């Protein structure tokens, strides 16, 4: 900052004495205490996850020490992560997006069409990303400039887009047999040292998004808009544009997620993405992002997604019947919400 920019003001009441005037002191002087306070939502989510895994491992130690279990979770988890993370932004903005399953289906359909027509899968990925961006923009504009409730409007868009897919495809799936030999498959969907490569891409996406959320103008404006849209407007922020951008981000995330899920299965189904609606939403809130907007945690949302992914696998692997899965899903959601309620204060 140059000298000329500094207002030549004196301290009111004409003094700068006293230790308080010299520098602000941090109330939590110990770095660990500060770290825990700043990240208490995501740390709480991590605690829930660790306790849950401990219960599973004690229930059935032999199954939970085999790598296969983790490998299967690590294959499907990335698909969820690519939509959970953008949804943290949407919920922070005090909106919701229920149209991402249809966007996943639509974008991956475009990917499948391009690959089936014999083009390189990289071109298919690019086409899917463009589709996701456009659909995100469409949904966002409808909500923001149409002045509609995002809860209802995105639900409507989810049905509408899924309906379009069903009408055109008449329920038929598309097999992509030539995908396995492509370079794109090796980069995005193979294994390195037995670890599914998708998880590395997903971790990179989570880290990038966490930085975007905490250390970028976009994230800063998303939080302010969700916190107090009137103030944001008074301070010259284009509130509507920020909200549209958040929906576009979700569209892009959904396109990546849809493409990854097609690559895992070598097949595109007209229902692609449908099963993700409720687990993904649950992950965002289990992760510690509150419903009222303004604050949230990307890393917490990612840990929430890991937790939700392990419930289904874990319940079955622990020796319980599949009928217990929904019960445990509900139990984890409710316990997490109670924990976050106790953990977070809402300032007004």
Partner 1 sequence: MGERIIELRDIKKSYGQVYALGGVNLSVDRGEVVGLIGDNGAGKSTLIKILSGVVKPTSGEILVRDNPVAGWSAARSRDAGIETVFQDRALAVQQTIVRNIFMGRELTGFMGWLKVNKEIAEASRLMREIGFTSKVFTPHSIVGQLSGGERQGVAIARAIYKQAELIILDEPTTALSLTETAKVFHFVRQVRASGRSILFIGHNIHHVFDIADRFVVLDRGKVALTADRSEVKSAEDLINFMEDVAHPGGLPGLHEGAEQRA
Q: How many CB atoms lie within 10 A of CB 31?
A: 9
Could you say which residues in the range 203-222 bind partner 1, by CB under 8 A?
Answer: 211, 215-218, 220-221
- Please identify, using beta-carbon distances, which residue of 242 and 282 lies nearer to partner 1: 242
- Please identify, using beta-carbon distances, which residue of 2 and 62 lies nearer to partner 1: 2
Strand partners, 268: 174
Q: How many CB atoms lie within 10 A of CB 254?
A: 33
- Please identify, using beta-carbon distances, which residue of 2 and 321 lies nearer to partner 1: 2
Nearest approach in angstroms of CB 162 to partner 1 is 35
241 touching partner 1, by CB under 8 A = no
CA-based nearest residue to 169, from 278, 290, 267: 267
Could you tell me how far CA 154 lies from the centroid of its own chain?
Answer: 17
17 touching partner 1, by CB under 8 A = no
- Please identify, using beta-carbon distances, which residue of 27 and 118 lies nearer to partner 1: 27
31 touching partner 1, by CB under 8 A = no
33 to 72: interface string for partner 1, x by CB under 8 A:
-----x----------------------------------
Q: How many CB atoms lie within 10 A of CB 139?
A: 29
End-to-end alpha-carbon separation of the chain, Å? 33
13 touching partner 1, by CB under 8 A = yes
Considering only residues 31, 193, 342, 347, which one is a binding residue for partner 1 as defined by CB under 8 A?
A: 347
7 touching partner 1, by CB under 8 A = yes
The answer for residues whose C-beta is within 8 angstroms of residue 313's C-beta and 6 or more apart is 69, 72, 73
Instruction: Check: CB of residue 290 under 8 Å from CB of residue 346.
Output: yes
CA 72 – CA 309 distance, rounded (Å): 10
Residues that bind partner 1 (CB under 8 A): 1, 5-13, 16, 19-21, 23-27, 38, 211, 215-218, 220-221, 223-224, 227-228, 230-238, 294-295, 345-348
């Amino acid at each position: 900052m140059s000298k000329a920019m500094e207002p030549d003001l004196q301290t009111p009441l004409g003094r700068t004495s006293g230790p308080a005037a010299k520098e602000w002191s941090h109330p939590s002087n110990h770095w660990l205490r500060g770290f825990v306070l700043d990240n208490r939502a995501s740390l709480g989510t991590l605690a829930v996850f660790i306790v849950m895994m401990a219960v599973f491992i004690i229930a059935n130690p032999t199954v939970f020490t085999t790598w296969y279990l983790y490998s299967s979770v690590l294959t499907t988890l990335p698909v969820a992560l690519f939509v959970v993370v953008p949804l943290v932004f949407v919920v922070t903005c005090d909106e919701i997006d229920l149209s991402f399953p249809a966007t996943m289906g639509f974008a991956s359909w475009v990917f499948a069409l391009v690959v089936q027509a014999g083009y390189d899968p990289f071109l298919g990925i690019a086409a899917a990303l463009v589709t996701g961006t456009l659909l995100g923009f469409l949904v966002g504009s409808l909500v923001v400039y149409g002045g509609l409730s995002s809860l209802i409007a995105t639900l409507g868009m989810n049905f509408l887009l899924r309906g379009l897919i069903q009408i055109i495809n008449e329920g038929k799936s598309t097999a992509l047999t030539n995908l396995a030999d492509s370079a794109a498959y090796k980069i995005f969907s193979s294994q390195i040292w037995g670890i599914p490569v998708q998880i590395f891409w997903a971790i990179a996406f989570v880290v990038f998004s966490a930085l975007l959320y905490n250390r970028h103008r976009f994230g800063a404006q998303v939080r302010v808009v969700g916190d107090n849209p009137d103030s944001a407007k008074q301070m010259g922020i284009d509130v509507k544009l920020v909200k549209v951008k958040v929906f576009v981000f979700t569209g892009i995330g959904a396109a990546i997620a849809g493409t990854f899920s097609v690559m895992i299965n070598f097949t595109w189904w007209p229902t692609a993405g449908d099963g993700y609606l409720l687990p993904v939403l649950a992950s965002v809130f289990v992760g510690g992002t509150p419903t009222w907007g303004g604050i949230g945690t990307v890393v917490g949302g990612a840990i929430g997604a890991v937790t939700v992914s392990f419930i289904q696998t874990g319940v079955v692997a622990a020796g319980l019947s599949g009928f217990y899965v929904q019960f445990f899903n509900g139990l984890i959601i409710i316990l997490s919400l109670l924990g976050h309620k106790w953990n977070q204060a809402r300032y007004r």
